[in-house]
Structure 1
Amino acid sequence: MTRATWRTRLGFLLAAVGSAVGLGNIWRFPWLTATNGGAAFLLLYVLVIVLVGVPGLLGEMVIGRRSRRNPVGAFGALGGRRWRALGGVALLASVVVLSFYSVVGGWILRYTVASASGAYFADPQGYFAAIDFGVGAAGFHALFLLATVAVVYAGVDRGIELATTVMVPGIVVLFGALALWAVTLPGSAEGYEFYLSLDVAYLRANFLDVLVAAAGQALFTLSVGAGAMLTYASYIGEDRSLAADGTIIAVLNTGIGVLAGLVIFPLLFSLGISPGQGGPGALFVSLAGAFADLPYSRVVGLVFFGVVLLAALSSAISIFEVLVAYLVDERDTTRSRATAGVGGLFLVTGSGAALSPSLFTLLADTVANLALTAGLLGFLLFDGWVLGKAALDEYRNGAGRLARIMGLPWYYAVAVVLPLFLAFTLVSGLGTVLGVPVTTPQAAAVAVFGVVGAIALLRRQADSAV
């Protein structure tokens, strides 16, 4: 079976940016920023993107292009059969993420339809509270999933590449216009202050919690740790610079995330809504209320939520493709059957999240962060201590002079520094979930012990194989 490829570099970049941008930056980023101290969260988020996200993204892309396979097949082909379990973790993370993500996609779809009648204008908060969970939410989740299935069914070039080439530019243009408009709103200055003015005391008192949330959000928005970027990179050629492409993806993703905050927070404060009050519905409550006061409010609402729907689809498509690629590569299944089977799986898991607010919150706010962090930790240890020089060679293929020079610093960051950081955030996050107080020194000690032990084990295995 001939493996699919991207038609153009631009097509790959827009698909990858679409995967990264999605609702992670438009829905989840403002929500987590609001509940984690505003600028305190923004600062740590940007630092994690630059110092962890970009190198980690390149590490995942290296595995994908080197193997030209899905996560399970990639680790099996490059590291041996026992490593296929790590690919299985990536598949599980994809299931976790899309199970709640499709529910949010259903919310967006419902608001897009409701914009035509202005159904949410009179009482934005009450409207969202009435439609967020239940049978209706499960139904719209199914419709959103059906749209995702349709694009993935069409294939990599005729479906995913074509769709995201239209979606991503529209997202950027519309949010840029909204950010300019938000400046004119009364009370917007307070929103900018909350978003951009750092509260050092808050950051000191809540450093671990904010760091874990920022790390989870950075990995979520870059689509790393669940195999989406690994799968997308498996479709690109040897002549392309992974360093250049990865940097472009990260810059555009972060820029759109920050831009979303410049729209959401001025709107929240102009409506007199507390930043943390909206929770998962902050996007809907703030913007729905703002649209009611605009000329041509129904048209504006329809266009806005329509474009956000495109962003949601672009991310859902990339996650969905991870499982489809696995079935096509490893089970020799046709794309049509694989797409139908994966769609059936997410119909069940997403419906569960749509019917249960507690399950939705658990997946969206806790399990996703831990799963993505653990997934990327495994990917980077694999790069550094299983692939070794082969990972560095793959990084340098097609790279320019500067990127080639940065190869060694990237390799050592991937092999040692980033695993330590990811292990630290993972331990801290697990402590929060389990209700076990973990101090910074304790989390650091456990992280160092765990990573050093893992490296020693991997080196011993490599020596015995030789």
Structure 2
Amino acid sequence: MVERETWATRVGFLVAAIGSAVGLGNLWQFPFKTAENGGAAFVAFYLIAVVLIGFPAMLAEFVVGRRTNVNAVDAFRELGHRNWRLVGGLAVATGFWILSYYNVVGGWVLRYILGSATGAYFDDPGAYFGAVSAGPEAILAQALFLGIAVAIVALGIENGIEKATKVMVPSIVVIMVVLAGWAATLGGAGEGYAYFLSPSLDAMVENAGTAIPFAVGQAFFTLSLGMAIMITYSSYVGEDDNLPFDGGVIVVTNTLVGILAGLVVFPILFANNVDLALTGGGGASALFVAVAAGFAELPLGRWLGVVFFVVVLIAALSSAISLMEVTVSWAVDNFDVSRPTLAVAVGLGLFVLGLPSAWDTAWLTWFDNLAYSLFLPVSVLAVVVFVGWVIGSDAVDELRRGTGGLGPFGPLWLWTLRLVVVVGVFATLLLGIFELFLQDDPTGIPPLVAGAIFP
């Protein structure tokens, strides 16, 4: 049997995990949801959700991965609970499902890099997005983006993922800082900052029904939880790594990138009087229509657009390779086939599953809603229950390795996991089920079904 790969350095693990966490959600969801739901007040609540739910859940996945040093499915068998392999299987399947349509969005980003250089979307950003986001062109762009991710994963942990993310993650941070500095010189910077971060408890309370579930959901979605990524990445980690410290670095960096994104996009929008209704409260319209419209009005809009969408591409790729590695890791551990062959096979499967999302954005929305509101919270909840209530004190022992002693943090983490995280994720799951199946749209058809049938 081939010896299992490991990270060459601890920094390699950190940048790969940060790269996975820093994805499109930081750029097209977090800033706009923050602005809509109370600014700094929402950020404060989000940070509470991260500390009380996201961070403890991340450590739970770290524990499972490092304790077993195998893929996310077989990890539960290695821990002596074969029946719980279904939990690992759900997490791997969730990651595969998400990546199938994430690749489609990655293809959009490739098109926007070209569109920025040529100015193709400047006359009508909305029409351009409609033209490139679905149909044959979107399928080809999806294949190209997917091919890049396959090539990186095929090279392995040390020579592929680690080397790539060591370039990608610092690039994201450096370019975003430079763009934020440039955006501060724009005429609408002050208004943009005020819209983005001015604290408003009234807005937070008024939108609590949607803001609170989003903050909790974002806390584990943006930290790559529930997709077996952190289980997989930590399975390549040595026993002397300080997991709580590493998790803290990931959480802080991920949050800072989300805030940096807001410091870039809102000055652009306000400097050019872009209609904020185009943002749709975040999502594809925010990035590919509203922000694109802002670049169309800037003197150096073409080249600034290229730089911005290159950052978006790097963020999308760093998340895509982590999602792909989850399935490839399972395949490498279970089949006597070379990693490059398995990476290509996984890529082909992803391409086929992603075809509906590439052909029609209504299907992409349907895939995303199902993942975000159902698959992810179920997966996170199952892992948290397993670590908190099934292996219990053994999890604390594993977390303690490499720290020099946790003191009271170990039991505090365990009980936070058992009570606060379980309750928080379960409540998020119930809200997600309500949104998907029980809240009818005007046609009387549940949104989950309506999203696929009525574009």
Q: Same fold (TM over 0.5)?
A: yes
CA distance in 1, matches of 2:140, 2:46: 34
Shift of the alpha carbon at 1:416? 2.1
**Cross-structure match for 1:398:** 402
**Residues 20, 223 of structure 1: 8 Å contact kept:** yes
Letter of the 1:301 partner, please give it.
G
CA distance in 2, matches of 1:105, 1:178: 21
**Cross-structure match for 2:135:** 134
**Residues 20, 318 of structure 2: 8 Å contact kept:** yes
**Cross-structure match for 1:90:** 91
**Cross-structure match for 2:67:** 66
**Residues 68, 235 of structure 2: 8 Å contact kept:** yes
Q: Which range is displaced more, 233-242 or 66-75?
A: 66-75
**Cross-structure match for 2:231:** 230
Tell me the percent identity: 46
Shift of the alpha carbon at 1:140? 0.5
CA distance in 1, matches of 2:207, 2:371: 20
**Cross-structure match for 2:243:** 242
Q: Which range is displaced more, 76-85 or 32-41?
A: 32-41
Count of residue pairs brought into register by the alignment? 436
Q: 1:316 aligns with which of 310, 314, 320?
A: 320
CA distance in 2, matches of 1:14, 1:21: 10
Shift of the alpha carbon at 1:405? 3.7
**Cross-structure match for 2:415:** 412
Query: What do residues 201-243 of structure 1 show as CA deviations (whole Å, max 9, x unaligned)?
Result: 3332332322222222221211011100110000010011001
Query: What do residues 134-185 of structure 1 show as CA deviations (whole Å, max 9, x unaligned)?
Result: 2211210111000000000000000000000001111101111111222222
Q: Which range is displaced more, 288-297 or 181-190?
A: 288-297
| SS of residue in 1 equivalent to 2:143 | helix
CA distance in 1, matches of 2:37, 2:336: 45
**Cross-structure match for 2:329:** 325
Shift of the alpha carbon at 1:388? 1.4
Letter of the 1:331 partner, please give it.
F
| SS of residue in 1 equivalent to 2:120 | coil
CA distance in 1, matches of 2:374, 2:266: 27
Following superposition of structure 1 onto structure 2, how do residues 179-328 of structure 1 map, counting pairs within 5 Å? 179-279=180-280, 280-328=284-332
CA distance in 2, matches of 1:118, 1:368: 34
Q: Which range is displaced more, 378-387 or 362-371?
A: 362-371
Q: Structure 1 stretches of 5 or more lacking a match? A: 438-466
Query: What do residues 411-466 of structure 1 show as CA deviations (whole Å, max 9, x unaligned)?
Result: 111122210111111112211222259xxxxxxxxxxxxxxxxxxxxxxxxxxxxx
The answer to whether structure 1 residue 342 and structure 2 residue 346 are counterparts is yes
**C-alpha distance 436-223 of structure 1, shift in aligned 2 (>3 A):** same
**C-alpha distance 206-278 of structure 1, shift in aligned 2 (>3 A):** closer
Query: What do residues 104-149 of structure 1 show as CA deviations (whole Å, max 9, x unaligned)?
Result: 1111111112233221223223322322222211210111000000
**Residues 396, 404 of structure 1: 8 Å contact kept:** no
**C-alpha distance 102-176 of structure 1, shift in aligned 2 (>3 A):** same
**C-alpha distance 13-219 of structure 1, shift in aligned 2 (>3 A):** same
Shift of the alpha carbon at 1:303? 2.6
The answer to whether structure 1 residue 110 and structure 2 residue 111 are counterparts is yes
Following superposition of structure 1 onto structure 2, how do residues 169-184 of structure 1 map, counting pairs within 5 Å? 169-184=170-185
**C-alpha distance 96-32 of structure 1, shift in aligned 2 (>3 A):** farther
Q: 2:362 aligns with which of 347, 355, 358?
A: 358
**C-alpha distance 333-381 of structure 1, shift in aligned 2 (>3 A):** farther
**Residues 327, 346 of structure 2: 8 Å contact kept:** yes
CA distance in 2, matches of 1:16, 1:207: 31
Shift of the alpha carbon at 1:76? 1.9
CA distance in 2, matches of 1:85, 1:12: 26
Letter of the 1:117 partner, please give it.
T
Shift of the alpha carbon at 1:39? 5.1
Query: What do residues 271-299 of structure 1 show as CA deviations (whole Å, max 9, x unaligned)?
Result: 33344523422112343333334454433
Scaled by the length of structure 2, the TM-score of the pair is 0.90
Q: 1:389 aligns with which of 369, 388, 393?
A: 393
**Cross-structure match for 1:444:** none
| SS of residue in 2 equivalent to 1:71 | coil
Shift of the alpha carbon at 1:14? 0.6
Q: Structure 2 stretches of 5 or more lacking a match? A: 441-455
Letter of the 2:325 partner, please give it.
E
Query: What do residues 68-120 of structure 1 show as CA deviations (whole Å, max 9, x unaligned)?
Result: 11111111221422111111110121022212211111111111122332212
**C-alpha distance 275-370 of structure 1, shift in aligned 2 (>3 A):** farther
CA distance in 2, matches of 1:104, 1:41: 27
Query: What do residues 291-311 of structure 1 show as CA deviations (whole Å, max 9, x unaligned)?
Result: 334454433322322232111
**C-alpha distance 116-273 of structure 1, shift in aligned 2 (>3 A):** closer
The answer to whether structure 1 residue 422 and structure 2 residue 425 are counterparts is yes
CA distance in 2, matches of 1:158, 1:181: 35
The answer to whether structure 1 residue 151 and structure 2 residue 152 are counterparts is yes
**Residues 31, 276 of structure 1: 8 Å contact kept:** no
**Residues 68, 235 of structure 1: 8 Å contact kept:** yes
| SS of residue in 1 equivalent to 2:237 | coil
**C-alpha distance 89-77 of structure 1, shift in aligned 2 (>3 A):** same
Letter of the 1:30 partner, please give it.
P
CA distance in 2, matches of 1:359, 1:55: 33
CA distance in 2, matches of 1:405, 1:372: 30
| SS of residue in 2 equivalent to 1:122 | coil
Letter of the 1:312 partner, please give it.
A
CA distance in 1, matches of 2:417, 2:257: 26
Q: Which range is displaced more, 45-54 or 84-93?
A: 45-54
Shift of the alpha carbon at 1:257? 0.9
**Residues 39, 194 of structure 1: 8 Å contact kept:** no
**C-alpha distance 21-299 of structure 1, shift in aligned 2 (>3 A):** same
**C-alpha distance 423-183 of structure 1, shift in aligned 2 (>3 A):** same
The answer to whether structure 1 residue 121 and structure 2 residue 122 are counterparts is yes
Shift of the alpha carbon at 1:372? 1.7
Letter of the 1:292 partner, please give it.
A
CA distance in 1, matches of 2:130, 2:186: 26
CA distance in 2, matches of 1:198, 1:339: 46
**Residues 34, 275 of structure 1: 8 Å contact kept:** no
Letter of the 1:63 partner, please give it.
V
CA distance in 2, matches of 1:40, 1:138: 40
